[in-house]
Amino acid sequence: MAIHIVPHDPQWKMRVDAFNTRMREGGSQYGFYVDALPVWLPKRTTDQPVWREYWLAVEDGEHVRAGYALKPQAWWIHGQTKMVADWQGPFSEGAYDNRYGALGLRLFRDMLKKQPLLFSWGHGGDDAPVLQLLNKLKWTMIPTPFLLRVVRPFHFARKNKYLREQPRTRLALDLAAFSGAASIGGRALHAGLRLRSLKRFGAKAEVVSSFGPWADALWERAKHDYDAIAVRDARVMNTLLPEGETQPEWSEQIRLRVRDAAGEDLGWAVVCVRDMKGHHRYGDCRVGTVVDYLAPVANAGEVIHAAFDYLRDRGAELVIANQADPRWVRAFEDNGFVKLEGKRLFCAAPPLAEALENTRERFFVSNMDGHGPMGL
């Protein structure tokens, strides 16, 4: 069996479709992108600061057996710009056919040849085989927290799915909701977290259609506060979120310019809100997400405050976020968010782990640095 790894191309469209059919028939929940041109971040210019690309493993020039995606992006690490890449996949027929069991390892090695500073951020219980493979390859695993603030405790108690799986828990949540205990307890919890910080915030958010020179000025002010962060100037952000463009796997991404009472720019945030339907965690809740953001660290709490206020006013029943930087995590807590430790793993290939040495306390990563806010 001669297997070659080649760029996705329109000529492979029907064969990727056949690959996806075999994957489904083999019991896998995964497949690969049929269209060769990524819907999000297609590479259109040679000097593009961030893009996505698709690669296929093709057997005997005929059958697609696997695929993976890369998202190279410029990062600021220890004061230098380096190209770092997020990966998605690999999705392989090795999931159900032992003849291709070693193909995943080969694809990881191929990804590393193309982009040595490789990472992935996420991973849950279904990813255990991938994590075992990454451990064998000596990747570094960095646990990162999940942050949430319940806005409407009654609705959260009644609608969320994760906490309502067991009949006893479901009954207890219903009793708490209808007795008022959920509302009283939920508000007390978040109010207590706010009071503990002794901080007050007053920044306001303005919806903007794109990132302008003001975003470049913020990047120049903020970047030296971080030892490792993906570049977030206006060009990068407008590439990630082109004006007027939507993504089929995301809700509308809303750009917020955050300023103080005097009109001075403090930072920015990207947020979204979605009415979930039967979600495996959120059930039927209306979920707001603080997807991405940037500010000098001193202004982190103000940016989170403004983003939360906007989502609350849009009817979010629950607001969530993901972050690795401990300083931003504390700023979320200052805004009444609950921190759940170790809910996501940042998995770094050995060359990237070496580049990130001594960055842990000033290491920033958010949803937009990975596959984007898929499903949110």
pLDDT of residue 278: 83
Report H helices in 210-340: 213-222, 234-240, 300-313, 326-334
pLDDT of residue 172: 54
pLDDT of residue 246: 85
What confidence tier does 200 reach under pLDDT thresholds 50, 70, 90? confident
Query: CA–CA separation, 202 vs 5, rounded Å?
Result: 53
pLDDT of residue 220: 97
More confident residue, 86 or 160: 86
| 307-364 per-position pLDDT tens digit | 999 999 999 999 999 999 999 999 999 999 989 887 789 999 999 999 999 999 999 9
Q: Phi/psi of residue 181, each to 5°?
A: -65, -35
Query: CA–CA separation, 103 vs 23, rounded Å?
Result: 15
Q: Within its chain, how far is the Cα of 366 from the centroid?
A: 6
pTM of the model: 0.88
| 9-28 per-position pLDDT tens digit | 999 999 999 999 999 999 99
Specify the pairing of strand 286-294 against strand 318-322: parallel
Length of the chain: 376
Report in angstroms the alpha-carbon separations of 318 from 207, 326, 338. Answer: 21, 22, 11
| 115-169 per-position pLDDT tens digit | 999 999 887 554 677 888 888 889 999 999 999 999 887 666 666 655 555 565 6
Question: Which helix (H) or strand (E) element contains residue 144?
Answer: strand 140-150
pLDDT of residue 193: 62
Torsion of CA 183, 254, 44, 61, to 10 degrees: 20
Question: Is the pLDDT assigned to residue 266 strictly greater than 70?
Answer: yes
pLDDT of residue 134: 87
Question: Do 201 and 305 contact (CB within 8 A), yes or no?
Answer: yes
pLDDT of residue 372: 85
Query: CA–CA separation, 79 vs 73, rounded Å?
Result: 16
Helix/strand/coil for 51: coil
Question: Do 34 and 17 contact (CB within 8 A), yes or no?
Answer: yes
Listed residue (213, 223, 262) closest to 81, CA to CA = 223
Is the link from the previous residue into 90 a cis peptide, with omega within 30 of 0? yes
